Amino acid sequence: MKSFSWILVLPLILLSSCFEFIEEISFDGEESGTCEYTLNCSQSRLKLKNIIKLDTFMGYTLPNQNAIEKDLNKVVEILSISKGITNVQRSFDFDQFIFSIQFHFDSVKNLNLALNQIAHHERIKYSLPFVRLYEKENGVFKRNTIPDDTLFKKVDKKHFKLFDDATITSIYRFQNTVESTSNSKAIISKNKKAVFLKHNIKELTANPSLLSNSIKLK
């Protein structure tokens, strides 16, 4: 598979998918920080190991391990040459099916640029618009929703049930203390320097704006 569309397929092939997606952004300065994305399919690894042996499943072409590794390496490669992105590290555990990519960014602007460059590789298939996923201005950090819930539109509605038990966790850590958050489900840590938000992906398919959050910092 030449494109990264398997990333969309991966959760689908977990059937009653027990998987978690974790988004962690830890600021080490006003604009700079570390970003880490983790896809943990450990709970469904047995199903995944069996299904991945198939060529196609539920109408989707499935990649083999080499293809997955190749595509993830391509993501790493794109990040490595992106402006303002350094120290790109990856961890692919095909035994537990846990995939993680971590990198340092020098500004939120360059972080958005790098993420859009990855998305750019999918544009032929999915026409993703430029997205300012994160914003940090005047002491406010914003996590925006992808406009028009583009990614979820690519998934056949009849496959939404596969997300029944899947979750997405967002953790944002700051140097400054957090004053407030706009998302009522977000929890502020005891030291007031981190915000935690966890959602069921099925809820997000119905309402992608649940992920959006505006965090006011002191």
Strand runs (DSSP E) across the chain, as ranges?
A: 20-27, 33-40, 56-57, 60-61, 85-93, 98-105, 134-137, 140-143, 167-173, 178-181, 187-188, 194-200, 213-217
Residue count, binding to another protein (CB under 8 A) = 24
| 193 near another protein (CB under 8 A) | yes
Q: How far is CA 131 from CA 43, 59, 109, 175, in A?
A: 31, 29, 11, 25
| Cβ nearer to another protein, comparing 75 with 194 | 194
| 150 near another protein (CB under 8 A) | no
| 34 near another protein (CB under 8 A) | no
Among 45, 136, 143, 199, binds another protein (CB under 8 A): 45
| 50 near another protein (CB under 8 A) | no
| 196 near another protein (CB under 8 A) | yes
CA distance 105 to 30: 11
| Cβ nearer to another protein, comparing 46 with 81 | 46
Binding residues for another protein, per CB under 8 A? Answer: 16, 18, 20, 22, 24, 40, 42-43, 45-46, 96, 98, 158, 161, 164, 171, 173, 189-191, 193-196
